């Protein structure tokens, strides 16, 4: 299990780097899907099968499909690829790399004190469900109200105003 | 039968072999059955009743030039047909065929099938997008919207069964149907799942992504040889998968009177639905694209939510 964890983690990190350095947007998206699936494997190894499946269904399966859908609608082509390549020149990497290195150092320092990875038990679907509708029901309801507001406003923005209206 | 344990090598190998051979055979079965229903003969020259037509088709498809158009995006073009085969075959891993035959008993089996179905959308989308062809792009745009929409109703229509069985484990779902199949309490869920399943595997009447009268062959316009063959066989694999899922979820899987062995019951039930899907292709015209979308979102979605709500009320009141 521990080997699987490190393997999936390595895939996730490498794929995420791939997302950043790819100049072809579709290839970048493929890397992002790979990265999300690797994170799903990590969830599974850590004993959260429901979270793993939801990661695959919602993020890799639904949200990324919508990303791809938008890419298909825009169909940007060669121009953006050249522009992307220009943005990815070495000089632009300096400051972000420095900042990321500081964060990485902090992370390593913090993780130094943490006990080793231990998988105590699997948290099943029923356990997650009873938590969500038990102690955390208020948070779930608030989140759903937020989503509903987003849905209504998206509908309003996308609405076609016909000539007879208003 | 002791060597056929769940997850044993023999079990995995025979499932893989049976499913792929069956999917290839279905190409011939479909053409013969369509011929029968449309009062013509269909392929009947090669071998006994034309049964070797599949072999002839396979030889043709394997020896065709495997061509990648120079204007296509090579990586995604090659990847796309492989995705559909992989995700559909992976879905068969959680399906319990009999008490002995199966690959894995997963506590998240239903979710796994849904996850694989949603990943299957990439196959048609990438295939169309990477072809750099306007018909292919139109086809994959349609496929993307159709598959993302019908995935929603497919998931919700299954939840009624999950609520009744109290488990996401497909084997547990079959075993809990010993007293009665879920088709009776979940007939609305079954109908929605049936429709969504056809849309997910984009077969007629919902084959709008590859409607040949409007947009050539849709997303696989640029494909030839074995890459096209994978899309083609992948579609039939999807048909077998949907039929198996219906059998497992709503018709008690391998359960049946004991004068026939469990695998025969499973095959009979799944075979019935495969034939039903083929008959549907022969009988129904294709709807318009906006009709498909508004039918899904304005009719199937409220209906599936209502079904789930009613199931929840009944289960809670009988606790």
Q: Is residue B48 part of a domain?
A: no
pLDDT band at residue A76 using 50, 70 and 90 as cut-offs: low
DSSP-assigned letters across all residues of chain A: -HHHHHHHHHHHHHHHHHHHH-SSHHHHHHHHHHHHHHHHHHHHHTT-HHHHHHIIIIIIIIIHHHHHHHHHHH---HHHHHHHHHHT-GGGGHHHHHHHHHHHHHHHHHHHTSPPP-------HHHHHHHHTTTTHHHHHHHHHHHHHHHHHHHHHH----TT--
| Domain membership flag for residue B160 | yes
pLDDT in tens, B47-100: 777 778 888 888 888 888 887 888 777 888 888 888 888 888 888 888 888 877
Burial of B18 (0-12, 13-18, 19+ CB in 10 A): middle
Q: Percent of chain B beyond pLDDT 70? A: 98
In a domain, B120, yes or no: yes
CA-CA distances (angstroms) from residue B87 to A61, B58, B113, B140, B157?
A: 12, 22, 9, 18, 21
Q: Which of B68-72, B145-149, B206-210 has the lowest mean pLDDT?
A: B206-210
pLDDT (mean) for B244-255: 86
Contact A53 B145 (CB under 8 A): no
Do the Cβ atoms of A54 and B111 come within 8 Å? yes
Q: Is residue B57 part of a domain?
A: no
- Identity of the residue in A66, A72, A124 whose CB atom sits nearest the CB atom of B141: A72
pLDDT of residue A165: 55
CA distance B295 to A33: 30
* B50 occurs within a structural domain: no
pLDDT digits (tens, 9 = 90+) for A29-52: 888 988 998 898 888 888 888 888
Q: Mark out chain B residues that contact chain A at CB-CB < 8 A.
A: 73, 75-76, 79, 107-108, 111-112, 114-115, 117-119, 121-122, 125-126, 128-130, 137, 140-141, 144-145, 147-148, 151, 155, 168
B34 assigned to some structural domain: no
Does B79 sit within 8 Å of A27, measured CB to CB? Answer: no
Residues B68/B78, Cβ–Cβ less than 8 Å: yes
* % of residues, chain B, pLDDT over 90: 1
pTM assigned to the model: 0.83
Q: Is the dihedral of CA B135, B136, B139, B140 positive or negative?
A: negative
Mutate to test the interface with A, among B115, B120, B144, B219 (most CBs of A within 10 A): B115
- Token pair of B120 as six digits: 């299957």
Q: Can you tell me which residue has the tokens 């394997």?
A: B62
How does the average pLDDT of chain B come out, rounded? 83
* B129 vs A10: CA distance, rounded Å: 29
Q: How confident is the model at residue A120 (pLDDT cuts 50, 70, 90)?
A: low
Number of domains, chain B: 1
Find, among B194, B187, B201, B311, the residue nearest to B246 by Cα: B194
Query: Is this complex's ipTM strictly greater than 0.95?
Result: no
Cβ separation B118–A60 shorter than 8 A: yes
| Domain boundaries along the sequence of chain A | 2-123, 124-160
From the list B108, B126, B130, which residue is nearest A49 (CB)? B108
Helix (H) or strand (E) holding B207: none
The range of the structural domain enclosing residue B244 comes to: 68-317
CA dihedral B88, B90, B96, B102 (to 10 degrees): 130
**B205 preceded by cis ω (within 30°)?**
yes
Alpha-carbon B308 to chain mean position: 23
Q: Do A56 and B137 touch (CB under 8 A)?
A: no
Give the nearest chain B residue to A68 (CA atoms): B125
Under CATH, which architecture does the A2-123 domain have?
A: Up-down Bundle (1.20)
For the segment B114-120, the average pLDDT, to the nearest whole number, is 86
Q: Predicted confidence band at B131 (pLDDT cuts at 50, 70, 90)?
A: confident
The CA–CA distances, whole Å, from A14 to A9, A29, A31 equal 9, 14, 9
The per-residue pLDDT for range B276-303, each reduced to its tens digit, is 888 888 888 888 888 888 888 888 889 9
């Amino acid at each position: 299990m521990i080997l699987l964890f490190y393997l999936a983690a390595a895939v996730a990190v490498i794929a995420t780097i791939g997302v950043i350095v790819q100049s072809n947007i579709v290839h970048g998206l493929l890397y992002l899907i790979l990265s999300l699936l690797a994170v799903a494997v990590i969830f599974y190894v850590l004993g959260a099968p429901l979270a793993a499946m939801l990661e695959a269904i919602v993020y890799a399966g639904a949200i990324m499909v919508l990303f791809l859908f938008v890419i298909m609608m825009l169909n940007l082509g060669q121009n953006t690829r050249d522009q992307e390549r220009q943005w990815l020149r070495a000089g632009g990497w300096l400051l972000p790399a420095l900042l990321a290195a500081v964060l990485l150092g902090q992370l390593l320092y913090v993780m130094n004190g943490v006990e080793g990875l231990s998988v105590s038990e699997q948290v099943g679907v029923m356990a997650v469900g009873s938590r969500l509708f038990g102690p955390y029901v208020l948070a779930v309801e608030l989140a759903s109200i937020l989503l509903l507001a987003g849905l209504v406003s998206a509908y309003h923005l996308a609405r076609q105003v016909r000539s007879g209206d208003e | 039968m002791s060597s056929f344990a769940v997850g044993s090598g023999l079990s995995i190998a025979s499932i893989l072999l049976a499913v792929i051979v069956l999917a290839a055979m279905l190409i011939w079965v479909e053409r013969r059955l369509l011929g029968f229903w449309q009062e013509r003969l269909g392929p009947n020259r090669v071998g006994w009743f034309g049964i070797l037509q599949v072999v002839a088709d396979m030889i043709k498809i394997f020896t065709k030039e495997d061509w990648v158009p120079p204007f296509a995006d090579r990586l995604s073009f090659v990847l796309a047909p492989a995705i559909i085969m992989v995700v559909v075959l992976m879905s068969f891993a959680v399906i319990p065929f009999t008490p002995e035959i199966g690959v894995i008993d997963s506590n998240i089996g239903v979710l796994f099938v849904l996850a694989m179905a949603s990943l299957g959308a990439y196959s048609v989308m990438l295939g169309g997008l990477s072809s750099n062809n306007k018909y292919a792009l139109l086809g994959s745009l349609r496929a993307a919207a159709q598959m993302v929409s019908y995935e929603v109703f497919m998931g919700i229509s299954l939840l009624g069964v999950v609520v009744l069985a109290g488990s996401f484990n497909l084997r547990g779902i079959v075993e809990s149907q010993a007293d009665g199949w879920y088709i009776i309490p979940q007939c609305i869920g079954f109908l929605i799942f049936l429709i969504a399943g056809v849309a997910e595997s984009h077969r007629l009447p919902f084959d709008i992504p590859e409607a040949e009268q409007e947009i050539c062959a849709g997303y696989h316009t640029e494909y030839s040889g074995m890459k096209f063959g994978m899309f083609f066989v992948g579609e039939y694999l999807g048909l077998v998968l949907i039929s198996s899922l219906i059998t497992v979820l709503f018709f008690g899987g391998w359960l049946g009177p004991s004068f026939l062995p469990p695998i025969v019951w499973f095959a009979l039930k799944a075979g019935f639905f495969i034939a039903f899907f083929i008959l549907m292709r022969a009988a129904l015209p294709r709807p318009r694209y906006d009709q498909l979308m508004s039918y899904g979102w304005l009719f199937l979605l409220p209906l599936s939510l209502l079904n789930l709500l009613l199931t929840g009320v009944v289960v809670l009141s009988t606790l």
